[in-house]
Amino acid sequence: MPEGKKRILTGDRPTGSLHLGHYVGSLANRVKLQEEYESYIIIADVQALTTHWEKDDNLKRDVFQITGDYLAAGIDPGLSTIFIQSMIPEIHELTMYYSMFTSVNVLRHNPTVKTEAAQHGFSDMTYGFLGYPVSQAADISIFKAHLVPVGEDQIPHIELARKIVRRFNDLYKPVLVEPEVLVGDVPRLIGLDGKAKMSKSLNNAIFLADTADEVWQKIRNAVTDPARIHKTDPGHPEVCTVYEYHRVFNPEEAGEIEDDCRHGHIGCVNCKKKLSGKINQLLEPMRERREKYDYEAIREILLEGTKKAHRVALDTMAEVREAMGINYLD
């Protein structure tokens, strides 16, 4: 990796398969930028424990699943370093130092923390859950990342990371980098059911790992314009999920489809077939790439990636301790 490139740090909690919402929200950006930037991708397994703290038998499976999804999507392990959060103890050390000057009220008012707490039905938040944005600031800043490609729900966390870095640099020494957020072309992809967001837990997602037939079955069953009963009835693309997906995944034909739908010249089944074909065209190369990586190959990528990430984290922590004056015995 040539010196002098700016860095990217981004990642996900391993809580299940990645879907098209992840792809257009941030994964496509990560693939696109991995040559221009020195890229690090964190599998945030400790952060996953903030909501799944009971012994989770799926954790290992999910770590391998998400790594397979990254590789399938086009993350190249020769360009991007994929690593496991729990295996970098310095991240947790830095989190502790940041927590000394981060206010509880700021965390309690974080809109994403609030939404997630409500989703999980937490009436009282655990210390770890409330504090996960602090740990995320450590994830990012220990790599001195300049850019963080994520979905739009992560914006408040990157904002906090910027504030924490600024505060640290001010209090001690300017050794850390203020990160910028980068949100994808489609910050929020609606779900197959027309709900505001595609999400595994809402059961309205097309996964990167779906087969061609699964994709077709899901799209076949998607809600279209309820006012349209006969093929020749004029349609209302603005209320139709399938049309919305055409705009995202089939922009070249979306204008024509909109016109044909409004005039009753294209039926929903035909329109869905076109969309399914287009999405499968996007997923097909992913299916082929996925085949190239078996369990051992993924394990090796994670081992090597974590080793490399650890070296970077060790270097930054040495600077942090020196800046804070807690390197007494050096």
The nearest distance, CB 225 to ligand TRP, in angstroms, is 33
Count of CB atoms situated within 10 Å of the CB of 1: 10
Q: Are strands 38-43 and 147-150 parallel, antiparallel or unpaired?
A: unpaired
CA pair distance 70, 209, nearest whole angstrom: 11
148 makes contact with ligand TRP (CB under 6 A): yes
CA pair distance 154, 143, nearest whole angstrom: 18
11 makes contact with ligand TRP (CB under 6 A): yes
3-state secondary structure 236-291: CHHHCHHHHHHHHHCHHHHHHHHHHHHCCCCCHHHHHHHHHHHHHHHHHHHHHHHH
CA pair distance 204, 19, nearest whole angstrom: 10
Phi, psi of 230 (to 5 degrees): -100, 150
* Residues numbered 153-182 forming contacts with ligand TRP, rule: CB under 6 A: 154
9 makes contact with ligand TRP (CB under 6 A): yes
By C-beta, is 11 or 74 nearer to ligand TRP? Answer: 11
224 makes contact with ligand TRP (CB under 6 A): no
Residue 147: strand, helix, or coil: strand
- Of 49, 140, 177, 189, the one binding ligand TRP by CB under 6 A: 140
Site string for ligand TRP, 78-117 (x = CB under 6 A): ----------------------------------------
22 makes contact with ligand TRP (CB under 6 A): no
- Of 29, 34, 110, 136, the one binding ligand TRP by CB under 6 A: 136
The nearest distance, CB 251 to ligand TRP, in angstroms, is 26
**Piece of the chain touching ligand TRP by CB under 6 A; list 3-11, 50-58, 118-126, 259-267:** 3-11
Residue 7: strand, helix, or coil: strand
13 makes contact with ligand TRP (CB under 6 A): yes
Which residues are within 8 A (CB) of 208 and not within 5 positions of it... i.e. 6 or more apart? Answer: 17, 18, 19, 20, 22, 23, 69, 72, 73, 283, 286
139 makes contact with ligand TRP (CB under 6 A): yes
CA pair distance 307, 312, nearest whole angstrom: 9
Site string for ligand TRP, 38-67 (x = CB under 6 A): ----x-x--x--------------------
By C-beta, is 134 or 242 nearer to ligand TRP? Answer: 134
CA pair distance 17, 121, nearest whole angstrom: 23
- Positions that interact with ligand TRP (CB under 6 A): 9-13, 42, 44, 47, 136, 139-140, 148, 150, 154
